Amino acid sequence: MTSKTLFEPYTLGSLTLSNRIVMAPLTRNRAGPGFVPGDLAVEYYSQRATAGLLIAEATQISQQGQGYQDTPGIYSQEQIDGWRRVTKAVHAKGGHIFLQLWHVGRVSHVDLQVGGGAPVAPSAIRAKTKTFVNNAFIDVSEPRALELDELPGIVNDFRKAAANAIAAGFDGVEIHGANGYLLDQFARDGANVRDDAYGGSVENRARLMLEVTAAVIDEIGAERTGIRISPVSPANGISSSDPQAQFDYIVDQLDALGIVYIHVVEGATGGPRDVAPFDFGLLRRRFNNTYIANNGYNLELAAARLTEDKADLFAFGRPFIANPDLVERLKTSAPLAAFDQATLYGGGSAGYTDYPAIAMVSQS
């Protein structure tokens, strides 16, 4: 038992966070032409800068890595410049912000790929899921299996994206290794049936995730590198026959690499925490740096887990959509506003930057 509180400062690498509350990355599909974050993104993130740490929305490392319409990138100069405006606004309010680096793998559609090509995956197994493209949710396309000689290029795309994120002013990056996207696809045997050095054993299936992490560390340093994992989440049609063994090994290797945090989706992404048997406490004990807990947390659960020393930081996702001042609302036990489902994905300011802070509500 500890006497820690959610609202006290926390040291994350070289950063001093104002509290232990993290804004989880949230895909909102509002990037402008060229997949560049615009004025709305600047306002959206700066409104939420009171979080101890903001993790910006999943951002593709290349066009091949894109799986949804109007999601931002971090591979062109225009995208770097657009994100720099966001980080500048967040820092001006005293906030800290990481960027989540994303390659969706098979969770994509030919309409988003260069030349209408097939999405890529560890194996040519179509995901049983949908993606948001052409202003609708439709089935993902049939993928093709990546060739061995293509994998170093993907590792390098992550490396370059990390460098670009730092050039854009981010305090660090979060590698997206969760929710059924490319690195998670390689790690899980429901999507990876390769018989080469990247398939088969626990060690082989972890190889690409660990190579990407090592490359990012080499580029920007371990103190600015985190990763998100979701050991048992079935998101985007992913599955695994051995999640405990797989992710015990992965976390051991991540610990050896010295990254600043692991961000763990405990259970089904956006769903039940007990979707499958798994000892998340074991991951906590195996990792010596910061453990960010995610999935279904409210004030009471986060405070209890902190008292029990089950995590260091707590990520809140959807509550931040309609509550830009979520930290203050939690701190004062103010009621939380509900978000509008119809405006979650795509569109303009409605349902994005027009949710008021509690002070504005009380004055109206």
115, 64 in Cβ contact below 8 A?
A: no
Angle between helix 151-167 and helix 202-220 axes, rounded to 10 deg: 30
Whether residue 360 has pLDDT greater than 70: no
Q: What is the pLDDT of residues 270-307, one digit of tens each?
A: 988 989 899 999 999 999 999 999 999 999 999 999 99
Query: Residue 106: CB partners within 8 Å, gap ≥ 6?
Result: 119, 120, 121, 125, 126, 127, 140, 143, 182, 185, 191
pLDDT for residue 252? 98
What pLDDT, on a 0 to 100 scale, did the predictor assign at position 272? 86
Let me know: does 157 contact 150? Beta carbons within 8 Å. no
pLDDT of 364 = 44
Q: Tokens 């690499």 belong to which residue? A: 257
**If you average pLDDT over residues 238-249, what whole number do you get?**
97
Residues 146-161: pLDDT tens digits? 999 999 999 999 999 9
Query: Which domains can be identified in the chain, with CATH numbers?
Result: 10-363 (3.20.20.70)
Report, as residue numbers or ranges, the catalytic residues: 181
Q: Averaged over 194-215, what is the pLDDT?
A: 98
Using the 8-state DSSP alphabet, how is residue 32 labeled?
Answer: B
Say if CB 191 and CB 246 are below 8 A apart.
no
The rounded distance, in Å, linking the Cα atoms of 159 and 145 is 22
User: How many beta carbons lie within 10 A of that of residue 286, not counting itself?
Assistant: 17
Query: What tokens does 277 get?
Result: 């048997």
Query: CA angle, corner 79, sides to 156 and 119, nearest 5?
Result: 55
Asked whether the predicted pLDDT for residue 323 surpasses 60, the reply is yes
Number of Cβ within 10 Å of residue 44's Cβ equals 24
pLDDT digits (tens, 9 = 90+) for 106-141: 999 999 999 999 999 999 999 999 999 999 999 999
Q: What is the pTM of this model?
A: 0.97
Tokens of 354: 């027009």
Residue 148, exposed/middle/buried by CB under 10 A (0-12, 13-18, 19+)?
exposed
Q: CA 338, CA 335: separation in Å to the nearest integer?
A: 10
* Cβ atoms of residues 98 and 87 within 8 Å: no
Least Cα distance to 294 among 257, 283, 209, 12 occurs for 283
How many CB atoms sit inside 10 A of residue 180's CB? 25
Q: Provide the 3-class DSSP secondary structure of residue 20.
A: coil
Residue type, 36: V
Indicate the average pLDDT of the chain: 96
Name residue, tokens 């903001």: 54
pLDDT above 50: residue 104: yes
Indicate whether 73 pLDDT > 50.
yes
| pLDDT for position 3 | 64
pLDDT in tens, 1-45: 556 899 999 999 999 999 999 999 999 999 999 999 999 999 999
